[in-house]
Structures are given as C-alpha cells and as structure tokens.
Amino acid sequence: MRNVIVTDPPRADLADVDALAGYGVATAHEAMGRTGLAGPHLRPIQSGVRVAGTAVTVLCWPGDNLMVHAAIEQCRPGDMLVVTTTSDCVDGLFGELFATAAQYRGVRGVVTSTGVRDVAELEQLNFPAWSAAVHAQGTVKATAGAVNVPITLGRAVVRPGDVIVADDDGVLCVPRLQAGRAVEASAARVAKEAATRAAFNEGQLGLDRYGLRPLLEQLGVEYVAAEDYAE
Amino acid sequence: MRNVIVTDPPRADLADVDALAGYGVATAHEAMGRTGLAGPHLRPIQSGVRVAGTAVTVLCWPGDNLMVHAAIEQCRPGDMLVVTTTSDCVDGLFGELFATAAQYRGVRGVVTSTGVRDVAELEQLNFPAWSAAVHAQGTVKATAGAVNVPITLGRAVVRPGDVIVADDDGVLCVPRLQAGRAVEASAARVAKEAATRAAFNEGQLGLDRYGLRPLLEQLGVEYVAAEDYAE
Amino acid sequence: MRNVIVTDPPRADLADVDALAGYGVATAHEAMGRTGLAGPHLRPIQSGVRVAGTAVTVLCWPGDNLMVHAAIEQCRPGDMLVVTTTSDCVDGLFGELFATAAQYRGVRGVVTSTGVRDVAELEQLNFPAWSAAVHAQGTVKATAGAVNVPITLGRAVVRPGDVIVADDDGVLCVPRLQAGRAVEASAARVAKEAATRAAFNEGQLGLDRYGLRPLLEQLGVEYVAAEDYAE
Amino acid sequence: MRNVIVTDPPRADLADVDALAGYGVATAHEAMGRTGLAGPHLRPIQSGVRVAGTAVTVLCWPGDNLMVHAAIEQCRPGDMLVVTTTSDCVDGLFGELFATAAQYRGVRGVVTSTGVRDVAELEQLNFPAWSAAVHAQGTVKATAGAVNVPITLGRAVVRPGDVIVADDDGVLCVPRLQAGRAVEASAARVAKEAATRAAFNEGQLGLDRYGLRPLLEQLGVEYVAAEDYAE
Amino acid sequence: MRNVIVTDPPRADLADVDALAGYGVATAHEAMGRTGLAGPHLRPIQSGVRVAGTAVTVLCWPGDNLMVHAAIEQCRPGDMLVVTTTSDCVDGLFGELFATAAQYRGVRGVVTSTGVRDVAELEQLNFPAWSAAVHAQGTVKATAGAVNVPITLGRAVVRPGDVIVADDDGVLCVPRLQAGRAVEASAARVAKEAATRAAFNEGQLGLDRYGLRPLLEQLGVEYVAAEDYAE
Amino acid sequence: MRNVIVTDPPRADLADVDALAGYGVATAHEAMGRTGLAGPHLRPIQSGVRVAGTAVTVLCWPGDNLMVHAAIEQCRPGDMLVVTTTSDCVDGLFGELFATAAQYRGVRGVVTSTGVRDVAELEQLNFPAWSAAVHAQGTVKATAGAVNVPITLGRAVVRPGDVIVADDDGVLCVPRLQAGRAVEASAARVAKEAATRAAFNEGQLGLDRYGLRPLLEQLGVEYVAAEDYAE
C-alpha cells in the first residue's frame, strides 16, 4: 500500500449527484446496466434516508482510525466518507465525534465496510451511516493508510470523486465520469417504470407487458393443472 | 427440475388462514408441535405486521426473476408469494413493480429466500416482505423454473396452497391439510398461555407452574450459596 | 459442567449500575480501556433503549430453556438476565411469558447469545432484549445447566453480579469490582468528549486536536496532489 | 413433529444405488435436471471417497442424539444415515461408536447437517462422513424426535429409502422412484461428456461444440481489441 | 485492557498434559462433563496430529502481532501458544518465522482465533496449528496488548498454564487445576468406551446398552410400519 | 456492465510470473507492501501447489457459465482463469471439462469467487483450483457477461494480464506493471527472512532482532510476575 493522502481529487458534478440522490440506488443501479453495488452486507443504521455525495475514500488498518482523521480535512460540502480497511474488520471505526467534525465540513454521510457506533447519537445528528456492523469497539491511531486512493467496497471499486448513492436498498457507486449518463439513463428508466406501474395498476401482467409468453414456451415451461401434476 | 406452472392448486380455507394470522407465528408453530419454521435468516423489512395467506410457490434460477412474472398470473386474493432459487442467491428478485402487480390480484405479501429491493416503496404500498437480504441487485428473465411445485424454504417444505404465516418473529408454513387442526390447537394454546400469563403476573414461578423442581433434582442440579461456590 | 444454581451472588451497587446506564455502552467501554464488549452479533430487538442491570447468568443446553425457569427465581430488582448455551443455538429460548415473570421480579431486560421470540409482545411490555437472532423456534425443558456461574458471552466473560450495559451500540459487561472505577472513568471521558465535540463544532480537526500530524509524518504518509498521483 | 420411528420403508434398488455411486454426485445431479443437492455447506471429512446408499433419515433435537440410537436399529446393509436437527446445531452428534454400530449393520456412511467428531477414528474405520462441521461437542439423550420421516437437508428433501450419493463434490439425494431414470440419464450424460472430453482434448472450443457464438451475438456481446477498450 | 506481560505463571504438570494428549479432544471434553471446547470454527491446518501443551496466552490488537513477539520470550518447553485479538481478525498473525522461534523454545504448536500463513512451511516444520482461517495478510507491530492474561477463545476461557489439547476434532482447554482429574476421568471413559465398542462390534444396540427403550416410550415415540405412516 | 470480450490484453512477463510463483503468496504480498490479497474465503481444493499465471478475467451472471466458454478461447499458455459473478454465487461454475479445454491452451489453473466441482477429477488432471466453495450445482448458458475486463475478487482488483499467484496461503494479484518490482522486492525479502530464520534458529528473539523492547516500554506494557498479577 502506498501511504498517501491525495488532495483535491476531481469530484463529480453536484448537480448530477443530487439528481442521482433523487433516483435512488435501485434505479441508478439498473440505469447503469446493473453495476456498482457494494453488496447486501452494508446496511443503513437509519430508515427512510436517501442521499448521494462525492466519495472521499479512506483506507485504514484494522482496528485503527488514524486515516479517518486525515480524511476529514480533505472533505468538502457534498462529500460522502467511504471507509474501508486493508482486511476484514467490524470495529466501530466511526462514531458521533467524527460525524460532528464531518458535518462541519458539509459531509453528507458515511459508508463503511467496518462497524459504526453511537448510532443513537448519529440519528440525532441526522448524519446517515451505512455499515457492515454496529459495534462499540474502540480503535487506535497507530498505523498508516491512505486517503483518496481507489478502494474496493464489497464488489464495487470506489475512486475519489465518484458518486455514492445510498438509501434503504443499500450503497451504489457511480463512477465520476459516468455520472451524467447515469442521470439520463435513470430519468429514462423512471419514465418507463411509471408506465409499467400504471399498466400493472390496471391489471396488466408482466408476462404480457414484457412479451415473456413465447420465451416460456421456447424454454419448455409447461402449464399443468394441479390435478394432473404428480411431484 | 421439471419446468412447470401448476395451475389452480387447492388452497387452504381462508377462514383458517385468517385465524392463523390472528395467532401469529410463535403460537401456531408451538400449536403444530414445534414445526414449520423457515428459520431465523428470513427477516421482515417492516415492523409490527402479522399476516397469513395461501402459498403460491416460485422456483427461480439465481439472478433471474422470469418465473415470478409467471407466478403473478396464478395468484388469487388471499395468496402469499413464496419465492426461492435453485441455489443460494441474495439478489433483489422482488421489488415495487411486482408488489404493484401482486396487490392488484389481492396478494397479501411476499416471502423469499433471496433479496428484495425498493423497501421504502414496499412500505409505502403496505406490501409486507420477508427476505434473507435487502439488495438492489437487478435480475434477468432468461432461465426456466417452476410455479406451484413443492419447494424448501430454509428448513420448511412449502407446497402450493399451504398457509404461510409471517410476522416479526419470522415465517411459518402450515400444511394445507393441517390448517384446521392448527387453528384449534392455537386457540387451546392461547387459552393456556393466558392463564400462565395471569399467574406470572401474580408472581407464580415457571418452576412451580410447570412442576420443574423434581426434574431439577432428578437431573442432579444443586443449589449452592454464592459464598460456598468455587468456580 | 457443574450443574448448580448459585444463590445470592453479590451484585454491583445499583447506584453504579444506573450511572453506567446513563453513560451507555460506547463510553463505558472506552472508559474501561476498550474491554468488555460481547461483540457485534448481539443486536437489540428495539431501538433507542439504554439500560443497565446486574447479571443473573444462565447456561442452558441448546434447544432447552429449563434453566431460565430456575434463573427467574434468583432474580431481584435491578437484574438483567444473561442467557447462553453450551454450544451455538439460535432457537427462541426467551419470549413474552418469561418477560412477564421477569418483570414481576424487577428484571430490566435480557441479553442472550440465542434467539428470542414474541418480539412485538416484548416491545409492548417495554422489556428490552438483545440477542443473536429472532426465531420463533420453541424449546424443551429436559436437560440440566447452571445459573449464576461465569459464562462467556461472545468475547466477554460475564460473572453473576457484574454490570451489563446495553443500548443501540451493543452489549457491555463491566466486572462488578470495577463498576465504581468505570463510573469515574466514564465521567472523565464524557467531559473530555464534550470539549472535543465543542471544538469540532467550531471546526477544529482531530489531526490538530490529537496532535496526529507528526505521527503521519513519522509513518511516512505523504500528501500528493491528485494530478500528481498515479495509482 | 410427530414422534415416530417408521419401520421398513421401501428402499431404492441397490443395483441402481451402486450404479449411481459409480457416476458420482455431479453427473447424477446433472442427469436429474440439476436437482437434489444438499448444498455446499456439507463437506466430507475424508478425500477421494465416492459412495451411495439408501437413506435412513433421523430427525434429532439440537444437542441430542437419542434418535440416532433408535435409527441404528432400523438400518440394513446398503443404507446411509442422514441426520438432521429441528433447528441449527453443529454439535458432534455422530462419532466413532455410532460408526462401529452402523458398520456392523452394513451402513455405508453418514451425512449430517450437524457436526461429527472422532474424525481420525472414522477415517481409520473407513466410515465416510459428510457434515456441516467437525466439533467434539458431546450430546445428551433426552428429547424425542423421529426416524424415517421426510426431512430437509439443506435445499434437498430426503425421504427414507431415497438414494444418497456423496463424494468430494458434496451430497445428492435421488428420490427412490427416480433412481432407475437417474441411472439411465447418468449413463447418457457420461457418454456425451466422454465425447466432449475427447473433442476438448483435441482443441475444440465449447463456443463451437455447443454452438454458442450466435447466442453471444444475440446477447450483444462484442469483441473489442485491448487497445480499443477503455474501462 | 491492562497492558501486561505476566511472567512465569504456574503451568499444569506435563505428565498430565501428555496423558491428555493421549486421550484427545473428544474424550477429555466428555470426561470434563462436556466443557472446554473453543468451538468448530477453529480448524487444524494439518491432518492426523494430536498434541497438548500448557497455554501461553496472547492478546493482540487486530492486524498487529507485536505481543506474539513478547510472548515467545515467555515460552518454555511443553507450551502451546494461544493467540487471540481484542476483536475479530482473520489476518495471518502467525507464520513460519514465529514457528521457528517457538520451536527453538520447545513450543508444541499454536492455536489462534485469527488466521495463520505459511501453511506449507509450517507443515514442513512439523509445527501444528489450529486457526479460524488461513490468510497471507501481513500484520504490523504497533499496538499494545497482553501476554499470559485470561482470554476467551470462542466459548472457552483460557488462563495461562491451562492445558490445551488439540487434534482433528478441534481445540480443548482443560483448566490447570482440573488437569489431574481430567486425566483420571478420561481413563475411566476410555475403559467404558472400549467395552461399548466391543459390544457394538458384536451387534449390541445403543438402545439396549444404554437402556433407552423405556425413555423412548415415556417420551411418546411410537413405532409405525411404513405402510401405515402418512406424512 | 458492458458486455465485451477484450482480446489480446498485454500480459505480465512470464519470467516475472514464474519468479513470483517461486516466492509464493505470503512473500510477494509482503514485498508489495501488504497488498493484493483476495481474502481468506478463497481456498485451494488441493494441497501443496504453488502456481502463478497471467489473469484472463471472466465476469459471469450468477448460475451461468456462458462467459467461461468465451474466455477459454482468449487463453494462452501461462494464463490463469479468474472467474467471478456479478453478485454472490457458489454454484459449480467450473469443472473437469473446462479444465480439459483450458489445459489444452496451456492454462495453469483457475481462481474463482464461485464454487467448483469435479474436484477429484481436477486433482487427477493436476489442474489446480482456488474457490469459495465446492458445489456440484450445475449452471446454464443464457446471460451475457464480460471477458478481460477489470473485476473485483474479494478485496483485490484484478485486471487482465495481471499476475495471479496462488498457493496454500491463498490468492494474490500483482498488477502487471508492478510485476518486475514485486520480483525484486520478493528477492530482498527472502534474503532478509533467511537471515532472520537463521537467527531465530540460534535462539534470537524477535523482541531483540526487531528492536521492539523500547516500543513495548513506550506503549506502557509492563512486566508483572504471575504471583503479583490480579486479574
């Protein structure tokens, strides 16, 4: 690992970021061709929050939050902190004091593959968090790491300045240079889904709307009346 | 796997189904001789909902929700969708659009060994869901499966038309032909528990109510004062 | 295992216990030199509750809650039930009827490495619970165990009379003889954190407050402008 | 649970059983339309053993091996013991003494969703075992269960008399009434695979042998030279 | 955590230690009333090794092996290193160089809740290891911990000088002061098992040897012929 | 996901690849500053094999091995197949027939975040495999994916042409452009370790060799005689 703090990485445009927050994780993920999810192990500590921001990435040693301190200084309004460790760790690397310092700099929330703590206090601060665990376990400040380098967050690769979208459905990374396209594709998807929703509300079936009956037939799926079916 | 869509399976009587919803998972499970639970890995996305319905079972390929589309057409008022895959999969096979189509047909909720997504929207629709994960990951419609065949859901076997009871305590399957007996046994258990609750509220001990003191003695359990006990 | 029920173990002073409840898990854990946590696998079934009590420990056989009945009789006002099994078990060893009997004796809550059930009812009773799972699975009363012997609860060792602190951040065990010191150290930590919070609210950085810049330098962490950084 | 010991269930024909042992788990699974696997969590304690037998099913209470004793009496030459519990349990329910008694009756091995112990001794006895864990944890004989009733073993349902095939690739259940067809289909598959193996050994590609190039094109998969590809 | 290195703790008698190595994990665990196991998550990297030694305990910070260096100096012939961390960590805290240094001091093996690495080299050195993982991940030497203090190792509490027995069935801790009794009880158990083994080899059933038939009847377990049994 | 098959990506120099195979995973990982490991969940199916090759990356849909067929055509002598899926999947995506075709093209082994099957046959072919599971579960060929695009493999990012080193300690990715430096740094590390090994074989302690005594003192670690230590 190169122990660096990269300063002033280019960020995605906040207009795109805010638009993606409006669309949410599931829509933007679909719009990007079903890519970018961190995975189901990262869960929100709160309910009903949908947020997006530009990633400030932090790579810590397990049990050590030194580099989060270094990262706070690099934050700007509109950022999201994205914290991971060099190997698996569920300690409470992030809590209320960090949230206080981060909010001062306009940070919108934190996403971490580790644990968080002070969850009652974080909710009072309206500082949203997504994490792999809730754990009060404290950490030290002893070992080097990196800030604003590319990291893996579950199955996603996050680069500084990428867009992080997070809501009740999980955490998504939209690469900075694809943010504009993701907004457009999300808008198109939302329009299409609205039409589908309306049709479903009137009783249309997905089988018909998506033309799936010929596919079922081609795949050899048979309809059998229950009285004719033997296990 | 036989790729079939079984139509019009016999369902449990909705009067029994609704009675079981009133009793809830823990009571009906006990009343059935402690059987029928799917296991603790299936959790509700909402809180405080208790529901029961007749199972429409769906067996999908991992990463593929084609057969859920086929299953929707087979649903009737009072049904619950029960979705699993041929091997482990936590993708978001079920979301808001499916819920919309299912609600139109009177479906009461979904239970799945996979993931769900659009959880904020599902809550707005009052469409309850129990799942092994929340994951925005999208799916394809490419591979055959089956509808209304027997499936395993954790430790439970679910057949079409069986009663699915689900609440904050998890998911229970009551076989269709045992539904009537389960209602009766649940009623008896509730009466017995009410008496126990009243006794406990007046200070009686389980040791006395259930006559456990002789058993402790027979098992050789000794009472030792703290000052006489050495680890 | 020695099958004993130890009676009247000395308890931590309830004044200390209540003081620790006020400080909460994360603060008391830090104050004790970052020790005493059970681990992130024990989660509350409710939200926003912070409680502390003196441990009545229960060691059961998997699938068997006989010794919980024996333990209830040993409880006093201010106690917390701490239930584990001789090997891994996520069955619903604890539910509403136990909570009723425990509340009658002034028990403040339950912490268990197993599952709990009747979670809706437990919330109505305002009887808080922390557990490794929610599972309706019922249990038998057939096999001996022990009450008020030392047990392991995740990474923590819990002895009867120790202080159990539990909140949204998890479960902490403060050894009985350290309770007074833990209260003092917690008070000191709270004061220090208040000062830090105030400083962070005015924009000070942890890097400066904790004097971390020389450490970063000593560890060889370099600052690199984004345009000069190649992966 | 109905607490029964079902005697003399019909078994699959041992000629079919032995033929399936010859084909192994992966081949027979494919031949059956990709069904019947218990799942990857059941692993062999030994290496290089391929065996098949007729299932004697055992449903125990967690931490309790009483019903295994009852099951041994029901065993005949050619049987496999298939042991599970009513809820998750990794205790060492099966060890050397059981293997000794089972071998006396001609049992060919054991498959269990629990733990096994005495693995060095089991290997010396040439008594193969597949389990979810190795754990020395001892068990009691205190709670009722069932023998030769249908059970779930991971994703598979096992009925008494079904064929259990087990090797380094895992554990497969072939329903008794499908054993003959499974043998035939396995033979056909082996012949087809031999031809494919020969072709691959001469350099043919799966893309050509299975005619997949048009599918790739239809799915929109493009070939791009590395120098023209930007992430 | 008190950061101490405790020197010269009393050790269990090596004669007892060696006797327990002869009996192995499963037998000694049973002889101790089914206590002392660390749990099924600790697995050997080698096969067929049975060893026992006196515990030198090591408590490290996650990702940090500083205290293992300190522990080596405290080792004597006949010891086993028992390494854990203050919170979950699967990094490779122990490898070939440590094994070399430990062997020089007569250490018999290592047991750790973390990962190990250099497993091929450890096998060449005939230095046995039990761990929760194999992971090449390297560690730092930056944070304090403790040597020869009581630690939890899974469900077991290990104190310095306790007997660690380890073989293919897992890892057992026998408290120092109980070592003599454990040897005696193991001998008795082995004798009893030899008689049972002989009886089983002649066809006796556990049902008869342990007198279980009345228990089955008392528990209401019924025998039903297969043709009379309906699911 | 862009559905592409990237042809002829530049590969690391095979001289470097072979040198890294000689050093092994743990050494090369350390030499690279403790980076590049996939994580402890990827385990070898065989024992004692150490291999390295250039990555041909494959991104499949869960339950679908279509793109592995496409990838085989892109392989050259010296390559390693690196297979993952868009979301978690432990099906047996790779088995003996693929190994046959891959060996024909000079492929040295496979590394996959999914399952493998035919493990007995793979060992006979001397085709080494590292995977997250062994599972006989078969797959379909229905959904698009990608070949030779960057993928995440646990915590590592793998790009086509990177060096994959794999042995009993796990799986390492060395970026193509760092391969030369990794060889040099590994050689230096091996020399240093040889000196340390020799010193340890003569009784030197790590405390002295690495100069750790002052650090212990600075961290406040105290030496306490056992008789003076109270828990």
Rg, chain E, Cα only: 21
CB F97 to CB D25 under 8 A?
no
For the full predicted model, state whether its pTM sits above 0.90: yes
Please give the average per-residue pLDDT across A7-14, as a whole number: 98
**A68 close to A140: Cβ distance less than 8 angstroms:** no
Q: For residues D7 and E225, is the Cβ–Cβ distance under 8 A?
A: yes
E150 chain-C contacts, CB cut-off 8 A: 157
Residues B98, F156: Cα–Cα separation, whole Å = 36
Question: Which pLDDT value is given to residue D43?
Answer: 98
Number of CB pairs < 8 Å for D and E? Answer: 121
Residue type, F145: G
**E56 pLDDT tier (thresholds 50, 70, 90):** very high
Two structure tokens written together for A154 = 């579950």
- Chain C adjacent subunits, 3+ CB pairs under 8 A: A, B, D, E
Is A150 close to F156, i.e. CB distance below 8 A? no
Q: Chain F residues with CB inside 8 Å of A34's CB? A: 1, 86
- Tell me the pLDDT tens digit for each residue of A178-219: 999 999 999 999 999 999 999 999 999 999 999 999 999 999
* Helices assigned H by DSSP within chain F: 14-31, 66-73, 96-104, 119-124, 179-201, 206-209, 213-218
Burial of D104 by CB count in 10 Å (0-12 exposed, 13-18 middle, 19+ buried)?
middle
Judged by a CB distance cut-off of 8 A, whether residue E141 touches chain F is: yes
Q: What is the mean pLDDT of chain A?
A: 97
User: Is D230 near chain F, with CB under 8 Å?
Assistant: no
Residue C219, min C-alpha distance to chain B (Å):
39
Task: Spell out the long-range contacts of F185-193 with Cβ–Cβ below 8 A and sequence spacing 24 or more.
Answer: F185/F31, F185/F32, F186/F19, F186/F20, F186/F23, F186/F27, F186/F28, F186/F31, F187/F23, F188/F31, F189/F23, F189/F27, F189/F30, F189/F31, F190/F23, F190/F27, F193/E97, F193/F27
Please, what CATH class does the domain formed by D14-185 belong to? alpha beta
Position A1 scores a pLDDT of 72
Tokens of F72: 């085989």
Confidence band, pLDDT 50/70/90 cuts, at residue C117: very high
CB contact under 8 A, D91 and C91: no
Across E10-33, average pLDDT: 98
Looking at residue B209, what is its pLDDT?
Answer: 97
DSSP B162: -
E170's CB contacts (< 8 A; 6+ apart) are D134, D135, D136, E25, E37, E38, E39, E40, E42, E43, E130
Nearest to C89 among D62, D135, D142 (CB): D62
Length, in residues, of chain A: 231
Chains within contact range of chain F (3+ C-beta pairs < 8 Å): A, B, D, E
* pLDDT confidence of residue C1: 72
Please report the pLDDT score of residue E94 as a whole number.
98
More confident residue, E218 or E231: E218
Nearest-by-Cβ selection for E70 from F24, F30, F216 = F216
User: Which chains does chain A touch, 3 or more C-beta pairs < 8 A?
Assistant: B, C, E, F
Q: How much is the pLDDT for F29?
A: 98
d(CA E51, CA E78): 10
- Reduced to 3 states (helix: H, G, I; strand: E, B; else coil), residue A139 is coil
Cross-strand partners of E167? E170
- How is F77-89 classified by DSSP, letter by letter? TTEEEEEEESS--
- Give the confidence band of B230 by pLDDT, cuts at 50, 70, 90: confident
Pair F83, F194: CB distance under 8 Å: no
Residues contacting D208, CB < 8 A, separation 6+: none
Q: Give the span between the Cα atoms of E157 and C152, in whole angstroms.
A: 7
| pLDDT for the residue numbered E1 | 72
| CB within 8 Å: C149 and B231 | yes
Confidence of residue E230 (pLDDT cuts 50, 70, 90): confident
Neighbour-count burial of D65, counting CB atoms closer than 10 A to its CB (0-12 exposed, 13-18 middle, 19+ buried) = buried
Which residues lie below 8 Å from residue D70, measured CB to CB, with a gap of 6+?
Answer: D5, D58, D147, E207, E212, E216, E221
Would residue E203 be called left, alpha or beta, if left means φ above 0 and alpha means ψ between -120 and 50 degrees? left
Determine the residue of chain C that is closest to E34 in CA distance.
C1
CB contact under 8 A, D226 and F9: yes
C152 touching E (Cβ < 8 Å): yes
The answer to whether the CB atoms of F212 and E69 lie below 8 A apart is yes
Q: What confidence score (pLDDT) does residue E91 get?
A: 98
The percent of residues above 70 in pLDDT, for chain A, comes to 100
Taking the C-alpha atoms of residue A206 and residue A189, their distance in angstroms, rounded to an integer, is 16
B35 touches chain D (CB under 8 A): yes
C207 within 8 A of C199, measured Cβ to Cβ = no
pLDDT of residue B3: 96
Kindly report the average pLDDT of chain E as a whole number: 97
The secondary structure of residue D184, as a DSSP letter, is: H
**In this model, does residue C60 exceed pLDDT 80?**
yes
Nearest-neighbour CA in chain B from D87: distance (Å): 8
Query: Are F171 and F188 in contact, with CB atoms under 8 Å apart?
Result: no
Residue C230: per-residue pLDDT: 78
Question: What is the residue extent of each domain of chain B?
Answer: 14-185
pLDDT tens-digit series, residues E85-132: 999 999 999 999 999 999 999 999 999 999 999 999 999 999 999 999
Which residues are CB-contacts of B115 (< 8 A; sequence separation ≥ 6)?
A40, B89, B90, B91, B92, B93, B131, B132, B133, B134, B135, B137
Residue F218: CB atoms within 10 Å? 9
Task: Select from F14, F4, F11, F1 the least CA-distant residue to F183.
Answer: F14
Pick from C34, C150, C152: CB nearest E1: C34
When pLDDT is averaged across residues D61-77 and rounded to a whole number, the result is 98
Contacts of B140 in chain F (CB under 8 A): 61, 142-143
Check if the beta carbon of residue A51 is closer than 8 Å to that of residue A171.
no
User: Residues 61..80 of A with a Cβ closer than 8 Å to C: which?
Assistant: 66, 68-70, 72-73
Q: Above pLDDT 90, what percent of chain B?
A: 98
Q: Quote the pLDDT of residue E57.
A: 98
Kindly indicate the confidence band of residue D1, based on its pLDDT and cuts at 50, 70 and 90.
Answer: confident
Q: Which of C48, C172, C206 sits opposite A69 (nearest CB)?
A: C206
Mean pLDDT, range D174-187, rounded to an integer:
98
Test the C interface: residue of B165, B169, B196, B222 with most C CBs within 10 Å: B169
Q: Name the pLDDT band for D163 (thresholds 50, 70, 90).
A: very high
Residue F101 structure tokens: 């075709």
Spatial separation of the C-alpha atoms in residues E89 and F37, rounded to whole Å: 15
| Contact present, D109 and D17 (Cβ < 8 Å) | no
Chunked into runs of 10 residues, chain F (231 residues) has average pLDDT values of 94 98 98 97 98 98 98 98 97 98 98 98 98 98 98 98 98 98 98 98 97 97 94 68
- Tens digit of each residue's pLDDT (9 = 90 or more) over F7-50: 999 999 999 999 999 999 999 999 999 999 999 999 999 999 99
| Average pLDDT value over all residues in chain B | 97
Q: Do A143 and E89 touch (CB under 8 A)?
A: no
- Read off the pLDDT of residues C147-196 as tens digits, 9 standing for 90 and up: 999 999 999 999 999 999 999 999 999 999 999 999 999 999 999 999 99
How far, CA to CA in Å, does C188 sit from each of A162, C31, C184, C205, F89?
41, 8, 6, 21, 50
Give the gap in angstroms from C-alpha C56 to the nearest C-alpha of chain E.
18
Q: How far apart are the first and last CA of chain F?
A: 57
pLDDT of residue F1: 73
- Whether A40 and B90 have beta carbons less than 8 Å apart is answered as yes
Confidence band for D230, pLDDT divided at 50, 70 and 90? confident
Question: Cβ D135–E37 below 8 Å, yes or no?
Answer: yes
